[in-house]
Structure 1
Amino acid sequence: GFKIGGAEVSRKHAGFIVNTGHATARDVLDLIAHVKRVVKAKLGVELETEIRVIGDL
């Protein structure tokens, strides 16, 4: 799947992000933002984020 740093969209289920061994929290959040932008642009659907970020990055 699409990858940013060590975070990758799962090849088995697009609703999951996989840590390939060295993902940072920033990698994961950037990947989430990218996926949301692409889905909005291609399908006109605004995805909701199910995680809650605590603290500053």
Structure 2
Amino acid sequence: MRVVVADLTARLELVLGRVAELEARLKQSSSNSSKPPSSDGLAKPVHRRRVPRRR
């Protein structure tokens, strides 16, 4: 039984590492990696609203 638990624990650690790697890859775009802009897809990037300065 302990061997099975140890085996499953090791497999779980591998899977969790792979999930973290894939999630990090999903967060990349052309602005934060070396990927070309054409790989970003068809969605337009969200621009932050500028707050006007007071003079």
TM-score range relative to shorter protein? 0.3 to 0.5
Higher relative contact order (CA 8 A, sep 6+): 1
Larger helix percent: 2
| Structure number with bigger Rg | 2
Larger strand percent: 1
